[in-house]
Structure 1
Amino acid sequence: MRTAIVVGAGIGGASAAVGLERAGWRVTVLERAPALGEVGAGISVWPSAVKALAELGVTGVEKAAAVSAPAGMRRPDGRWVVKASALGVEVPVMIHRARLHELITSRFGAGVTVRAGVTVDGFEDGAVLAGGEELRADLVVAADGLRSVVRGALFPAYGGPRYSGYAAYRGIAEVELDDGGGETWGRGRRFGFARLLDGRYYWYATENRPAGVVDADVWTGFGDWHDPIPQLLKASETVLQNDIYDLRLPLVPFVHGNVVLLGDAAHAMTPNLGRGACTAIEDAAALPRHLDDLSGYDRERRAAATKLVRASRVIGRVGQLDSRLLCGVRDDVFTVGGKVAGVLGRKREMGESHG
């Protein structure tokens, strides 16, 4: 039986372990935390990732019910810029990160061994260096995140993480709302929220600031924005804060010998598209198809991930504009674009109904 070491037991690493075990491999998962689990708040699971999870045999991520209240993009005073109904966009499933992680790890069978509390110190001469041990396998999956130790050992000249210029706040609120959610864009700040599958609300906010500033005072930037934003903030016991980074382009190859990079270790992106974890899940679903020729994994996944990293970066730059003039132009463009999309959508529906 062929063997694999997966470095990192987050959503991407856990998904990879499930896929490899289903392919008949014996898998050892190395996780530096003392126990399996995920921290964070909500996560959007887009249809492509729902499909990838189904390929891995992971169930419980179901299509979200349609919201009856309007959703879309607003200004801080509550005025609509564009409603989602006019755009005809896909709707992701919203779920807590910890719950999604539980659904994935529940698929671990006897072929998966988890070693928690193990810190990987490096990768050298084909061996994973962890706690004084040299661990070897037929395949090493580096799913060890933004500051991947394995990636750093393989590509020491690569620049690695790049600070976006803004930080994020995240929280979970147990409230009853008659609001479809969406995002509100201000000057150098954004706020978004959506209902999770369990009925709670996940919210997130971004704010331009230097790296390393820690205050978690989300009220200063958003406490006077439109309802239900103040209500969401009041109902949140814990507020998470972190600086936002992505990986520099061009991305390094996702395959080096018998090592593959997966998830944030390969393509960490800003959260503006809500596709980071989804892309890691899609990596994990793709990997079993290329176990006899790993170069195929790189060809399939690197180009697709590069497009997402770049697109997410561009959206972040537009969303974090702080010039009054440029923000006004930005909002007007979205408003006009939404009206045009709405007209085209109605014409398409009429054409289909008469077809």
Structure 2
Amino acid sequence: MGNTAVVVGGGIGGLAAAIGLRRVGWGVTVVERAPVLKDAGAGISLAANGLRALDELGVGEAVREASRGQYVGGTRTPRGGRLARMDGLALEKEVGAPIMGIPRSTLHRLLRDSLPAESLVIGSEAASVEQTGPGVVRVDCGPMVLRADLVVAADGIGSKIRARLFPDHPGPVHSGSTVLRAITDHAVDLGADFELTWGQGAEFGHIAFLDGRAEWHAVLSLPAGTRFADPLAELRRRFHTWHDPIPALLDATRADAVLHHDVNELRTPLPSYAVGRIALLGDAAHAMTPNLGQGACQALEDAVTLAAALGAEPTVETALARYDDERRPRSQAVARAARQAGRLGQQLSHPLAVTLRNTAMRLTPSRIATRMILRHHAWAPPPLN
């Protein structure tokens, strides 16, 4: 088996894949089209499965030190009524770790710092990727051409590599929601590590960080392409009557810090995560809605599973077949569950349906809610030999 790989995409999944491949003896080049790695983004929640993947990659301890555990919180109504409580201690007892909150930029930096600088090619786009002969994949990056034994397509939900490999696939579609998010400019008195509030066709949530600041997000049921002249003012208008600390979170935010993106997903599952010597990973393979907080965790699972397969199997082809067999059923099941969670959560708008859901949540014992979470969090990574 050869041992050189090109990873297209320098996001969380791509960097994790590069770390994993290096740990099993592969030489790796990461190609990222952004001219500068700005460590942008808002916040992210890491469940036990994602943390275990990071442990296997050798960066779990650093990530934990930079994260805040989500022990206190839950789900509420706009007036502040309690729908469900988060039992972070029970979750930690069952799976070994609570959910952790960390700025996305911090996680990205920690992953990037685990790679040698010379393995990152910044400001270069993979214009074409093709298998040119037995065991050789050619990556055309403009003036630079790379040849490798393997290409990992970690180029996100709009993956051009996926589109070339599966020209008949419909690609990403709009979920029916749009999300606005930001990190507060200073610490806020929160009272909870993590909280979601569900209204009619709207959701507001926050993740607390170690330094007292918080990431907040507002999800609205709106058509694709909807934008506001003043996003922060629009959110203040929509959420000014919602319970504390929602108004305080918005007041602690700079207007230029608000990010706004439509929530898109790969609703039609891919038939395979590998074609020839090209593997799809993360959002390029299974972009999902954020309702379970599993998008990054699934990409981290992909990275470790891919590296383990390449470290154990006799050929690239058998390794990629194993990767596809292990990752496609699980990640696509998580994507379906995330879609369903959105339909029963933020996307519900009819008053009667909202009332029925809220009643069901109040009546559900916490141990049953914890068991439902465990379906996705209880994953053990394959060892990287």
- TM-score normalised per structure 2: 0.83
Cα distance in 2 for partners of 1:67, 1:284 equals 25
Are 1:95 and 2:97 matched, yes or no? Answer: no
| Letter of the structure 2 residue corresponding to residue 62 of structure 1 | R
Q: In the superposition, relative to structure 1, how do residues 24 and 37 fare at CA in structure 2: closer, same or farther (>3 Å)? A: farther
Cα distance in 2 for partners of 1:287, 1:297 equals 6
Q: Deviation of residue 294 (structure 1)?
A: 1.5
Q: In the superposition, relative to structure 1, how do residues 311 and 139 fare at CA in structure 2: closer, same or farther (>3 Å)? A: same
Among residues 122, 125, 131, which one is paired with 2:142 in the alignment? 131
Equivalent residue number for residue 188 of structure 2: 176
Are 1:195 and 2:203 matched, yes or no? Answer: no
Equivalent residue number for residue 335 of structure 1: 362
What 5-or-longer segments of structure 1 have no aligned partner? 345-355
Q: Deviation of residue 341 (structure 1)?
A: 4.7
Equivalent residue number for residue 279 of structure 1: 298
| Letter of the structure 2 residue corresponding to residue 318 of structure 1 | L
Cα distance in 1 for partners of 2:285, 2:91 equals 27
Are 1:8 and 2:48 matched, yes or no? Answer: no
Which SS does the other structure have where 2:175 is aligned?
Answer: strand
Q: Deviation of residue 197 (structure 1)?
A: 2.9
Equivalent residue number for residue 380 of structure 2: none
Matches within 5 A, 1:184-263: 184-215=197-228, 216=231, 217-237=234-254, 238-263=257-282
Q: In the superposition, relative to structure 1, how do residues 86 and 176 fare at CA in structure 2: closer, same or farther (>3 Å)? A: closer
Equivalent residue number for residue 71 of structure 1: 73
Does structure 2 conserve the Cα–Cα contact (< 8 Å) formed by 1:120 and 1:128?
yes
Q: Deviation of residue 49 (structure 1)?
A: 1.0
Equivalent residue number for residue 321 of structure 2: 295
- TM-score normalised per structure 1: 0.90
Equivalent residue number for residue 376 of structure 2: none
**Deviation digits for residues 277-314 of structure 1 (CA, Å, limit 9, x no counterpart):** 11111111111111132211111111110011100000
Equivalent residue number for residue 350 of structure 1: none
Cα distance in 2 for partners of 1:37, 1:21 equals 24
Does structure 1 conserve the Cα–Cα contact (< 8 Å) formed by 2:177 and 2:221?
yes
**Deviation digits for residues 140-161 of structure 1 (CA, Å, limit 9, x no counterpart):** 0000000101111111111110
Which SS does the other structure have where 2:203 is aligned?
Answer: strand
Q: Deviation of residue 171 (structure 1)?
A: 1.2
Among residues 338, 347, 356, which one is paired with 1:312 in the alignment? 338
Does structure 2 conserve the Cα–Cα contact (< 8 Å) formed by 1:120 and 1:149?
no
Cα distance in 2 for partners of 1:340, 1:92 equals 16
Cα distance in 2 for partners of 1:89, 1:321 equals 27
Does structure 1 conserve the Cα–Cα contact (< 8 Å) formed by 2:68 and 2:208?
no
Cα distance in 1 for partners of 2:54, 2:291 equals 22
Q: Deviation of residue 86 (structure 1)?
A: 10
Equivalent residue number for residue 353 of structure 1: none
Does structure 2 conserve the Cα–Cα contact (< 8 Å) formed by 1:37 and 1:102?
no
Cα distance in 2 for partners of 1:341, 1:252 equals 33
Q: In the superposition, relative to structure 1, how do residues 156 and 66 fare at CA in structure 2: closer, same or farther (>3 Å)? A: closer
| Letter of the structure 1 residue corresponding to residue 336 of structure 2 | R
Equivalent residue number for residue 377 of structure 2: none
Q: Deviation of residue 162 (structure 1)?
A: 1.4
Aligned residue-pair number: 341
Cα distance in 2 for partners of 1:228, 1:221 equals 14
Equivalent residue number for residue 114 of structure 2: 107
Q: Deviation of residue 339 (structure 1)?
A: 6.6
Q: Deviation of residue 40 (structure 1)?
A: 1.1
Are 1:321 and 2:348 matched, yes or no? Answer: yes
Does structure 1 conserve the Cα–Cα contact (< 8 Å) formed by 2:74 and 2:85?
yes
Q: Deviation of residue 109 (structure 1)?
A: 3.1
Does structure 2 conserve the Cα–Cα contact (< 8 Å) formed by 1:94 and 1:194?
yes
Q: In the superposition, relative to structure 1, how do residues 189 and 122 fare at CA in structure 2: closer, same or farther (>3 Å)? A: same
Does structure 2 conserve the Cα–Cα contact (< 8 Å) formed by 1:290 and 1:296?
yes
Q: Deviation of residue 85 (structure 1)?
A: 3.4
**Deviation digits for residues 130-178 of structure 1 (CA, Å, limit 9, x no counterpart):** 2255432001000000010111111111111011001011111222325
Does structure 1 conserve the Cα–Cα contact (< 8 Å) formed by 2:188 and 2:248?
no
Which SS does the other structure have where 2:176 is aligned?
Answer: strand
Equivalent residue number for residue 349 of structure 1: none
Does structure 1 conserve the Cα–Cα contact (< 8 Å) formed by 2:68 and 2:209?
no
Which SS does the other structure have where 2:87 is aligned?
Answer: helix
Cα distance in 2 for partners of 1:265, 1:106 equals 23
Cα distance in 1 for partners of 2:127, 2:146 equals 12
Cα distance in 1 for partners of 2:120, 2:140 equals 16
Cα distance in 2 for partners of 1:67, 1:3 equals 39
Cα distance in 2 for partners of 1:338, 1:271 equals 24
Q: Deviation of residue 51 (structure 1)?
A: 1.1
Cα distance in 1 for partners of 2:161, 2:258 equals 31
**Deviation digits for residues 193-243 of structure 1 (CA, Å, limit 9, x no counterpart):** 121133311111100101001112222322221100000000011111110
Percent sequence identity over aligned pairs: 43
Q: In the superposition, relative to structure 1, how do residues 307 and 218 fare at CA in structure 2: closer, same or farther (>3 Å)? A: same
Matches within 5 A, 1:36-55: 36-55=37-56
Q: Deviation of residue 179 (structure 1)?
A: 1.0
